Structure 1
């Protein structure tokens, strides 16, 4: 497998990064918290990039184009539900859910929502007001399952959704790593930069290797989605998604340790990245429950390390 991006996909990734920077980067997410109506600027930016013309089911290159868009969006925690749009079904925005505790990120965006669990059972969703009591992100809302009989979602769409979530997490972690790297280079302690301390260097090396490893696994998994049967593709995507969550927990914890209390203040991008990333990390399932859901695939032989 050649891990280099095709030229046209690489150009899209660069264009998306530049466009989201013009939007304000992470500041766009800050503004959206104060005024949710500003999310419209994020939608317009995606429209300009051709995101709404992508058909990620059509071929491998279009799926990869969707993946790099999710990576760029994750890098600024773009305040717009890109993945549900890319994986929409019959005009409804698809979101993976836990049927017993339904939550939707950006549920007030005015879309027609379709919720599906990891087995493929799907229901129309009726989104409500922001779930202020227990929400894990600024735009998370509660939702209820619709009255229609549950339908079925193609297992390949579940695999695509989980894979795109992992690319979103990767983008956010790369931004967090860049910010923390700059912090340890400029922050002075005992008369020298934090980056001069061996323990800090070891921690930064661990974070860097973990994030780079996630990038390679994301590329491999995306490539493998065009190979094997559906159970194998779902197992691959679930394994990637679990690894992305575990990498995020480790990397964000270490980043906050290096930043100190300042990392929890919204004056830093790290705080905003962390808060806005939480719905992606926790929905549809926690890392523990996702690992349990992956166990049957290991027993059936669908979870394999074979490349061919």
Structure 2
């Protein structure tokens, strides 16, 4: 087990950090799609959105380990981009999509001109494995009915990966959010007799493979992104308490401040280790459990607490919209909610 980044991964991290330093503008508001399209397209132009694509589609032919490195850098900068869609759309399509599905969607995703996301939550059921959404065979196609919640960037998506119960198990369907019967409101997606052709069903080489793979990639992507969020917030806070003085001394010189920043460091390093272990096992073709659930639980339980400490140590500066800390806090909270919260993660770990 060796978590040291190889040369390719170091180059990805360095390139991503360089692009983000140049392109992220805290004063620029999010675009109509809910994210900074200029930054996202810059990442695409640098080849970072096509890391997992096969060479025949213009990609680098890399995998989850390299995408996780990119996600961590996006989290470290709290970049206002749809980072999680790399784990919810690009990776599942590359692993489970048919050649036609991949050729139709992935090239535009790689340039930043299209988004693919996934609908993994249902009311009161985060990261659902047995969805209430139903798929019924009718007239040579599938008809989907159900409600999904907490779908990242649903309004901006070109396609949404939708798990649905079908005869013999659970299938994952590519749904066009503009199709008749689809209603998108914020992060909620309602499906009312939505027709999806057989060609819109992801491959399921054995029962339950598609939903299990999608779920693993979603959690891995979230913890890799969260790893960067905590690391970035920790760096920002360390620099602040080292510079800011009170009673003629830097805040960092006070024992209570040092203890609090140490707690943030412990939370950050634990998420980092758990995320790396889970991603390494996924990339090596090994069972990522229970490492994946440990990382998800720790991020959902300790991540928001650590970010709250960072806010506390910044005082009023932490909520200033011209200062980046509020981005880290908001993104960390979103990731905890995406994972279903600490109690759900703990229950999954127990199971």
Q: Give the TM-score, by structure 2 length.
A: 0.70
Asked if the contact 2:300–2:336 (Cα under 8 Å) also holds between the matched residues in 1, the reply is yes
Q: Alignment partner for residue 114 of structure 1, among 137, 156, 161?
A: 161
- Alignment partners' CA distance in 1, 2:343 and 2:193: 30
Q: Which residue of 1 aligns with 2:253?
A: 196
- Alignment partners' CA distance in 2, 1:147 and 1:234: 36
CA RMSD of aligned residues (A): 3.1
Asked if the contact 2:117–2:154 (Cα under 8 Å) also holds between the matched residues in 1, the reply is no
Asked if the contact 1:75–1:174 (Cα under 8 Å) also holds between the matched residues in 2, the reply is yes
Closer, same or farther in 2 for the Cα pair 1:96/1:104, shift >3 Å?
A: closer
Q: Which residue of 2 aligns with 1:99?
A: 122
1:169 Cα deviation from its structure 2 partner = 0.6
- Alignment partners' CA distance in 1, 2:281 and 2:174: 30
Closer, same or farther in 2 for the Cα pair 1:203/1:37, shift >3 Å?
A: closer
Q: Which residue of 1 aligns with 2:205?
A: none
| 1:124-273 correspondence runs (5 A) | 126=177, 128=183, 131=186, 141-145=187-191, 147=193, 153-226=210-283, 232-273=287-328
Q: Which residue of 2 aligns with 1:137?
A: none
Q: Which residue of 1 aligns with 2:88?
A: 84
Higher helix share: 1
**Structure 1: 5+ residue stretches without partners:** 132-140, 297-308
Asked if the contact 1:94–1:116 (Cα under 8 Å) also holds between the matched residues in 2, the reply is no
Residues 54-63 or 212-221, more deviating: 54-63
- Alignment partners' CA distance in 1, 2:157 and 2:280: 33
Closer, same or farther in 2 for the Cα pair 1:219/1:56, shift >3 Å?
A: farther
Closer, same or farther in 2 for the Cα pair 1:157/1:35, shift >3 Å?
A: closer
Q: What does the per-residue CA deviation read over 1:49-98, in whole Å, with 9 as the maximum and x for residues that have no partner? A: 32343338999962211001111111223322333332243447242522
Q: Which residue of 2 aligns with 1:48?
A: 45
Q: Which residue of 2 aligns with 1:286?
A: 341
Higher relative contact order (CA 8 A, sep 6+): 1
SS of aligned partner of 1:115: strand
**Structure 2: 5+ residue stretches without partners:** 106-115, 124-147, 203-207
1:15 Cα deviation from its structure 2 partner = 0.7
**Which structure: larger Rg?**
2
Closer, same or farther in 2 for the Cα pair 1:144/1:69, shift >3 Å?
A: same
Asked if the contact 2:118–2:151 (Cα under 8 Å) also holds between the matched residues in 1, the reply is yes
- Alignment partners' CA distance in 2, 1:111 and 1:234: 32
Q: Give the TM-score, by structure 1 length.
A: 0.79
1:32 Cα deviation from its structure 2 partner = 4.0
SS of aligned partner of 1:113: strand
Residues 148-157 or 65-74, more deviating: 148-157
Q: Which residue of 2 aligns with 1:70?
A: 71
1:274 Cα deviation from its structure 2 partner = 1.5
Asked if the contact 2:117–2:157 (Cα under 8 Å) also holds between the matched residues in 1, the reply is no
